[in-house]
Amino acid sequence: MFNINTIDRFQQLETPFYYYDMGLLRQTLEACQSASAQYGFHVHYAMKANFNPKVLEAIQSYGFGADCVSGNEVKAAINHKFDRSKVVFAGVGKSDKEINAALDADIFCFNVESVQELIIINDLAKAKNKKANIAIRINPNVDAHTHHYITTGLEENKFGINIWQLNDVAETLRKCPSLQFVGIHFHIGSQITDLEVYRSLCIRINEMQDWFEDHGFQVKVLNTGGGLGVDYHHPDTNNIPDFEGYFKVFKDFLNVKPGQEVHFELGRALVAQCSALISRVLYVKNGLKKHFLVLDAGMTELIRPMLYQAYQKIENLSQNSKFEIQNTEEGSEKPPLITHSPLKYDVVGPICESTDCFQKDVELPESFRGDLFAIRTAGAYGEVMASGYNLRDRVQSVYSE
Ligand SMILES: *Cc1c(COP(=O)(O)O)cnc(C)c1O
């Protein structure tokens, strides 16, 4: 992701900023594209992971659809030329304004999360003399074995409709002539790295589609959601997720009937590795028991570590590249990045909150004011969650090309 030239370029720039490796993004999109295409699967990109215009442009150019969770995301998808017939709209709290905008945009489908919402969409569609395509988001009660902050498919979560409410759904659908049922939707969580979880999901989807067919509804679309995880610990050696293995689980375990379409909604897996947050050390503070590195980026630029207790790899680019140059000049074959014993630092941001800490006790080479730092795997739920708290400047983006 970084070579000496990139780091030289960073020296000239004001920090903090998100750096995007557009080549890696394209490789990732290609890998996903070819792995899904072999089974005829459709992928909608979950736009909330990253709606940076250049990123959206790249994703759109590969023909992906868009999975939106707000009216403005629907608008952004259309503005970025995503095919309307490949735009879906999920969310537990769609407002009337958002539903109306999506109806006007003629999107493919609403992923509906409650019986109450079915009735509202029916009324709003009727007022416009339209028929709204809907899929029922079912809460399959499958444990994603991921962090509880990002689990969405258990009965205790606010998302989706529980299985014991499906009779109510069927009855409501029969009474709503402005709704067209197209299929069933699931999304059980994020950063899922255990593919077994998806096998359990497939088994549940098979049961659910049988239920709907038994009750007289034709299921045209099986939407399995997203959630495929990435390797936050090895952003260089494992920078493209195992799309082959992921799609193969669905190929092997999903009971796909003739004429049915299988849809996916990947967010993180497509964009996480292609970006890093680049920052400089402002101050090195030595306490009695602790050394602190105060960066010029904090939770206002990247909140995942604070919000979800998420791990993201932290690197001192300046010191690493110095050792690399030094060792290469001495002619050693594969330079160890760190040649002296590392120090332990708490890497913190400048925001007036104690929680504004990226990671505690990080082993790093001795670090100095002005050193460039990279916080890796920041392409998903990074830039999009930036805030103006403390009246901070808007974080900038820099691209490899
Ligand atoms: C967030 C979200 C996704 C994408 O999740 P990732 O973990 O980023 O793949 C997919 N579908 C829905 C409904 C979502 O809310």
Report the separation in Å between the CA atom of 265 and the middle of ligand 1, taken as the mean of its atom positions.
6
Q: 134-143, pLDDT tens digit by residue?
A: 999 999 988 7
**Contact present, 123 and 177 (Cβ < 8 Å):** no
Residue 340 pLDDT > 70, yes or no?
Answer: no
The position carrying tokens 């930036």 is 386
Report the separation in Å between the CA atom of 225 and the middle of ligand 1, taken as the mean of its atom positions.
6
**Contact present, 223 and 242 (Cβ < 8 Å):** no
Q: 196-231, pLDDT tens digit by residue?
A: 999 999 999 999 999 999 999 999 999 999 999 999
The DSSP line for 65-133 is EEEESSHHHHHHHHHTT--GGGEEE--TT--HHHHHHHHHTT-SEEEE--HHHHHHHHHHHHHTT--EE
Q: Round to the nearest angstrom and report the end-to-end CA distance of the chain.
A: 13
For residues 247 and 38, give the distance between their C-alpha atoms in angstroms, rounded to a whole number.
9
Report the separation in Å between the CA atom of 338 and the middle of ligand 1, taken as the mean of its atom positions.
38
Q: 264-314, pLDDT tens digit by residue?
A: 999 999 999 999 999 999 999 998 888 999 999 999 999 999 999 999 999
**Shortest-distance atom of ligand 1 to CA 191:** 7
* Phi/psi of residue 275, nearest 5 degrees: -135, 150
pLDDT at res. 226: 97
- Tally Cβ neighbours within 10 Å of residue 5: 8
For residues 296 and 370, give the distance between their C-alpha atoms in angstroms, rounded to a whole number.
10
DSSP, collapsed to helix, strand or coil, labels residue 273 as: helix
Report the separation in Å between the CA atom of 385 and the middle of ligand 1, taken as the mean of its atom positions.
15
Joined together, the tokens standing for residue 9 give 């370029």
Chain length of the chain:
401
**Shortest-distance atom of ligand 1 to CA 380:** 8
For residues 220 and 209, give the distance between their C-alpha atoms in angstroms, rounded to a whole number.
10
Q: 366-381, pLDDT tens digit by residue?
A: 999 999 999 999 999 9
Which of 190, 223, 228, 271 most suits a substitution to test ligand 1, by most atoms within 8 Å of the C-beta? Answer: 190
For residues 69 and 344, give the distance between their C-alpha atoms in angstroms, rounded to a whole number.
40
Report the separation in Å between the CA atom of 59 and the middle of ligand 1, taken as the mean of its atom positions.
16
pLDDT at res. 144: 75
pLDDT at res. 337: 52
Q: What is the CATH number of domain 273-399?
A: 2.40.37.10
pLDDT top residue among 152 and 355: 355
DSSP, collapsed to helix, strand or coil, labels residue 163 as: helix
Question: What is the H or E stretch that residue 388 is in?
Answer: none
Residue 234 neighbours by CB under 8 Å, 6+ apart: none
Instruction: Tell me what the pLDDT averaged over the chain comes to.
Output: 94
133 DSSP β-pair partners: 180
Report the separation in Å between the CA atom of 266 and the middle of ligand 1, taken as the mean of its atom positions.
6
**Shortest-distance atom of ligand 1 to CA 137:** 13
pLDDT at res. 334: 56
Give nearest CA residue, ligand 1 atom 1: 46
- Tally Cβ neighbours within 10 Å of residue 177: 11
**Shortest-distance atom of ligand 1 to CA 192:** 7
Give ligand 1 pocket residues (Cβ under 6 A): 46, 48-49, 67, 69, 90, 187, 190, 225-228, 265-269, 380
Report the separation in Å between the CA atom of 202 and the middle of ligand 1, taken as the mean of its atom positions.
17
Report the separation in Å between the CA atom of 226 and the middle of ligand 1, taken as the mean of its atom positions.
5
Residue 146 pLDDT > 80, yes or no?
Answer: no
Which of 265, 274, 304 most suits a substitution to test ligand 1, by most atoms within 8 Å of the C-beta? Answer: 265
Cβ burial 228-242 (10 Å sphere, 16+ → b, else e): bbbbbeebeeebbbb
Residue 121 neighbours by CB under 8 Å, 6+ apart: 99, 110, 112, 132, 134, 178, 179
pLDDT at res. 153: 67
Report the separation in Å between the CA atom of 21 and the middle of ligand 1, taken as the mean of its atom positions.
22
For residues 56 and 65, give the distance between their C-alpha atoms in angstroms, rounded to a whole number.
11
Angle at 20 between CA 376 and CA 368, to 5 degrees: 50
Residue 323 pLDDT > 80, yes or no?
Answer: no
Angle at 216 between CA 253 and CA 170, to 5 degrees: 95
**Shortest-distance atom of ligand 1 to CA 267:** 8
Q: Is 82 exposed, middle or buried (0-12, 13-18, 19+ CB in 10 A)?
A: buried
Q: Where in the chain is the domain with CATH 3.20.20.10?
A: 22-272
Model-level pTM? Answer: 0.94
Q: Select 22-272's CATH number: 3.20.20.10, 3.20.20.410, 3.40.50.920, 2.60.110.10.
A: 3.20.20.10
pLDDT at res. 44: 98
Q: Where in the chain is the domain with CATH 2.40.37.10?
A: 273-399
**Shortest-distance atom of ligand 1 to CA 69:** 15
Which of 36, 45, 64, 67 most suits a substitution to test ligand 1, by most atoms within 8 Å of the C-beta? Answer: 67
**Contact present, 334 and 391 (Cβ < 8 Å):** no
